[in-house]
Structure 1
Amino acid sequence: MAQRSELRQRKARLESAWSRWVPQMRDAGARPSGAGAPRPDVTESWLRSLGSVDPALDSAPVTDGGAVHRRWLGSPLRRPVDGLAEELRAIAEDAGFVTAVTDRTGTILWTCGGPTMRRRAERVNFAPGGRWDEGAMGTNALSLALRTGRPSSVFSAEHLVTALHGWVCYCAPVHGPDGRVLGVLDMSTTWDRANPLAMSTVRSLAAAIESRLRAEPPRREDTTPVRLTCLGTGRASRGGAPLPLRPRQLEILTLLALEREGFTPGRLREALYGERTVTASTFKAEISHLRRALDGGVATRRYALTAPVSCDAREVLRALERGDAETALGLYGGPLLPGSQAPGIEEWRTHLEVAVREAVLASRRPEHALRYGERAPYDAEVHEHALRLLDPGDTRRALAAGRLTTALRY
């Protein structure tokens, strides 16, 4: 109870100082001084922040979610944080904190914590995509740690933005092996849970991340992409050498190549197995085998490719997006993984078939209909389209007429 009373008194003193000084600083450029003034690093941050940040902000500005996910996949912090994720999550949940990892710009890339604290944090966009640099969100522990390169804590009304006066935050920068700041580890909670031990905890966890960064082997210099051929067949190779992937792993690779933003575990499992009952260990084993084949090129938690993969189906879709039916037809080797019955593959197979067929029917070049007609012998509409486009004296009319006659018999 004594600690709670001391925290309440401290909060009241800071709110009084904020109410006295921030309006004067904003309107007259006054500089706080005297016994009641905030500590110097907070004062200096208030002065810098007031030029770009409204203290009445209710939440942090947000970066596009897809871009943030891609940044996290490519971040050097991802692997060490994934390796410590269970420990970070347990500490956050047990202590009533929400923990966040940012990049060097102050954009949050990853968070964990109990559901109650995460909901509270999300109200102020203390979540992936939230921008917490000084220019976006004013004075906070995260922005101070980024600016100084040193651990920092900010309590209650030391925050410039009033929506954060109910919070206390503890941060430590994370340095790469070369000494550069790569981002910040932040542990935040409500003001009444402030604890001096939290700073030593966040320092230790940041040091553990840095240790893992130093222990990581150098990144692969070979950036040769995996080549995935999944139209009319199913095979993958790197630099001309085949990758030993089973059919299920080819299905996973195809789905990840087509949906670059990735899948939650539940959604990927459904795309592969539908309503079939499959054990979690079987599913994870397939993912693990694919990850090993790609030298770790599949992200954890949300499954997405982190290794370069070129895919013929993806290239067909890009060509169609450009209106380039010629290239699309040249690349279209047939149905997507023709032997697969995975629901996600069947859905993409239909999508591709319909998209290519519609491009053929929209084209004014008869050779497109003739080429597609080779793969669709029973598609009478395509053969009729070819006949409409061919000149009366074109000898290819006989080919199109023969195909049409065959199609109409069935």
Structure 2
Amino acid sequence: MMDTRLDTAVPAGADPAQYARLLHRVHEAAVTGAAPPARPRTVIGDSWLRMRARRIDPDGRTPGPVLSSADLARCREDSPLAGVLPMLRHALTAVAEDAGHMMVIADDRARILWRDGPGHVRRLGDRLGFVEGSSWDENDVGTNAIGTALVVRRPTQVYSAEHYVRGHHSWTCACAPVHDPRDGTLLGAVDVSGPLSSNHPSTLALVGAVATLAESHLRGLHHAHLEELRVVAAPMLAGMREQALVVDSAGWTAAAVRMAPVRRLLLPEQLDAGVAWLPSLGECRFEPLPGGWLVRPLSVETAGAAVATLDVARPAALSLRVVGPSGEWSHRLSPRHAELLYVLAAHREGRSAAQLSQDLFGGAARTVTVRAEMSRLRRHLGGVIASRPYRFADGVEVRVVGPPVPGDLLPHSGSPEIRRLRCAGLPAG
């Protein structure tokens, strides 16, 4: 799920102290409009552009309001990373302490949920507002490893004056996002941070490896839960004569009888026992199971006209919400699926696989990849997406909710068509 490209902050062979001084001159030129002595790394330069567009103050000091103790406890309890916290601590804390850093776990909104490390490093972090419950989203504190990594969706290191806020120039951070291995949803991030003197070139590789390990562990937990659900449901399914599915609370399929299994059902946000409408199966009866649902289709017809709202306003919360005659549902999108749907929203006449390959990758050679991704999308979205050509189905009204700043449109994306649409504006809703 995770993009494992490594772009370390300090070039190989460079003297860290001399390089930090160069970065100070580059930063000063960027915020004053002077000619820079060198170009910042692409990930940093792009982030600085976002900061200037948002009028972030480079002389700001600390994050905004910190979560209360009760809100922090609730966020920790709700975080999917809580299930892998012991593993993350085991993998990161000792290494971070040896290197004079602290280990940090953040949620998908860049809020620090947990941190561990030597007392003197934590006290330095306290002075920066780098504390549990604080938000390190780019909008709050400018360019930084946690906030920027969650925007670009890949491991990111920020060193010294690469931080947009001058008060953070004494700090270095390396962060990697953690995604849900089932569908690519952003869950949070793992970070190692500390004073400049403790910078080490292997830190970025370390957090990237730990994030990958966390995703693997989450995948194992998911498979174990589905197996438990299959065991619970087996006696009930054995004598069943009609079509039925057993899914977990998030809609992932554990078992199916008398029908082709789907990888996942998109369940309504509010679901109770009884009858509800699904985009791919129509009216279904839901019966609760421990940790999931027994789903019995009552009709194979998909309900008619629908309104699909593609929300790309926040990189960490990409989603498609569909309202139909019999109900509504919402689906969190991976960055790639958000790109595809945005392009289709801009081209309501439809796009072939070759055209989408050109749109996303700059050439027609990736049609196999496009077809595979579109196949996954159509399994999730049922009758919302049609094929030959790929398009939003007839009768589906499409609306797009975009970011207030056009340059923030899908900032993780480097696809040619997304870059063009950033300049051209949002497709008509």
Q: TM-score, normalized by length of structure 2?
A: 0.47
Give the strand-richer structure, 1 or 2: 2
Give the helix-richer structure, 1 or 2: 1
- From the CA coordinates, give the structure whose radius of gyration is larger: 1
